[in-house]
Amino acid sequence: MTPRTDASGRSLPAGPGGLPGDPTGATGGAADLPAGLVAPSYGLTGLAAVLPAAAGALGHELTTATGLSSRAAADELAGGFGAVTRCVVVLVDGLGAHNLADRGGHAPTMRGLLPGARTLASCFPSTTAAALGTLGTGTSPARTGLLGYTQRNPATGGLATLVSWQEQSNPYRRGPKMSRPLTVAPRDLQREPGVLAALAAGGVGVTSPGPQKYNGSGMTTAALHGPEYVVTGNRFGDAVDATVAALRAREGADRRLVYLYQGAVDKAGHRHGWTSPEWGAACEDTDRELRRLLRGVPRGTLVLITADHGQVTTAPARQYDVAADPALSDGVALLGGEPRAMHVYTRDGADPAAVAARWADRLGADAVVRLRDDAVAEGWFGPATGPGSEVPEHVRDVMGDVVVAMTGGEDGSGAATVVDSRLHSPEARAMPGVHGSLTPYEMHVPLLVAVA
């Protein structure tokens, strides 16, 4: 395997902060963000550019709604290798660039690629549903309508959980929560064309192996439609085997791409924390399979390894409960998002500016609070100007009237969170590993590039 180099064969230099290729201007880039927070990037320094770069490396020309050109993305992120006929894009859920750098001893294969890697900025919120939509379309949450772990369904007023494509029509009812399939069809909410679908339509053989539970799921259909889905066993190694087989098959398209997802690292971080032995073990297992992938794919295969977000460790003493705090509950009809990034939906007749002011006063330095239109204008959910900066009406209706991004977690003191004990189970409120906000550990993701 060959680390990413420039056209002359030299390893690309490390960027600021000791991580390779940090996005230029990422820290404090959005208007009025406190120092130390990371502005989302929806250009060539962001997660949105990864699949367009893969498309460009395969010789397929496209431009996304936010103006990302596959040719420019390939030159920026996969330069130095020339055109390829085989490509694998691996998404390791939860593997933030700083998490990987700090615990790289558990991932010798990935650590070996760090000197020539890039560090990209995720989207806001830095969470799987929003990030997979951004990755799959090469655009932004403001275009896809995939805006968080949970979000309001304007048609019903219920609370939708995007990763499972379920909805609670009455989320505040007492007793067990009653969920049902989300009433919005995946392609009615997420209307942007997908990069993988464009590749398939252009004659590239596109495959995505994985467990049966993801086959045709709402999230897969919304964010990553287009590939031929190959059902495998539940182990990541099963999907690696299917990837190698798809790329080595003697019959089929001349150009091929495989999209490969691994969720074990994120799950370990949520359950045990990213500094735990369990997280290290999940990282080791993933790294071992990635080494096998690099050895098994055909010679000349371009392999891009990235993530959707990183993680921070929670501080129980800095957890706010909306249900127990009138300053946070007054005027609020529904809380969406996640403990690090909230969509606050106000009651009819309530003044969103007054709600925002109360939240800002109550949370203080633990949060950055914005009205919806201000967050849009500052580029939180997508480009603030230029191509794709318009927010479709059906997406604007899903956004919270007030948007909140939590701070903290970088100095070892633990990250502040907001929960609602009427909505969130005790297990959810006690999770040691979380993400969604704008800190470097949540926002920075690696792009590891190798040629087999």
What string of pLDDT tens digits covers the 452 residues of the chain?
433 332 223 233 333 344 666 554 333 345 579 989 999 999 999 999 999 999 999 999 999 999 999 999 999 998 877 789 999 999 999 999 999 999 999 999 999 999 999 999 999 999 999 999 999 999 999 999 999 999 999 999 999 999 999 999 889 887 666 789 998 999 999 999 999 999 999 999 999 999 999 999 999 999 999 999 999 999 999 999 999 999 999 999 999 999 999 999 999 999 999 999 999 999 999 999 999 999 999 999 999 999 999 999 999 999 999 999 999 999 999 999 999 999 999 999 999 999 999 999 999 999 999 999 999 999 999 999 999 999 999 999 999 999 999 998 765 668 999 999 999 999 999 999 999 999 999 999 999 999 98
In the prediction, which pLDDT does 292 show? 98
In the prediction, which pLDDT does 417 show? 97
In the prediction, which pLDDT does 402 show? 98
Task: Find out whether 409 and 39 touch, Cβ atoms under 8 Å.
Answer: no
Please give the model's pTM, rounded to 2 decimal places: 0.93
Short-list 235, 238, 239, CA closest to 209: 239
Backbone angles phi, psi at 436, to 5 degrees: 130, -25
Distance CA 218, CA 303 (A): 27
The distance of Cα 167 from the centroid of its chain, to the nearest Å, equals 21
Task: Find out whether 22 and 119 touch, Cβ atoms under 8 Å.
Answer: yes
Q: What is the DSSP letter of 210?
A: E
Which residues make Cβ contacts (< 8 Å) with residue 262, sequence separation at least 6?
90, 91, 92, 93, 236, 239, 286, 289
Most distant pair of Cα atoms in the chain: their distance: 65
145 residue type, one letter = G
Distance CA 109, CA 324 (A): 47
Q: How many CB atoms lie within 10 A of CB 72?
A: 17
Across the strands, what pairs with 404? 342, 369
Which residues make Cβ contacts (< 8 Å) with residue 356, sequence separation at least 6?
344, 369, 370, 371, 402
In the prediction, which pLDDT does 265 show? 98
Distance CA 152, CA 145 (A): 11
In the prediction, which pLDDT does 23 show? 58
In the prediction, which pLDDT does 179 show? 87
Q: What is the DSSP letter of 27?
A: B
Distance CA 403, CA 376 (A): 10
Q: How many CB atoms lie within 10 A of CB 361?
A: 10
Q: How many CB atoms lie within 10 A of CB 101?
A: 18
**Alpha helix locations (H) across 103-230?**
108-113, 128-137, 141-144, 186-189, 195-201, 218-223
Handedness of CA 151, 156, 158, 164 (dihedral sign): negative
Measured between alpha carbons, how far apart are the two ends of the chain, in Å?
5
Helix (H), strand (E) at residue 4: none
Strand pairing of 367-371 and 402-406? antiparallel
Residue 247: helix, strand or coil by DSSP? helix
The distance of Cα 161 from the centroid of its chain, to the nearest Å, equals 15
Distances (CA, A) of 270 to 128, 166, 236, 295, 397: 13, 20, 19, 31, 30
In the prediction, which pLDDT does 20 show? 64
Residue 192: helix, strand or coil by DSSP? coil
Across the strands, what pairs with 343? 336, 403
In the prediction, which pLDDT does 12 show? 33
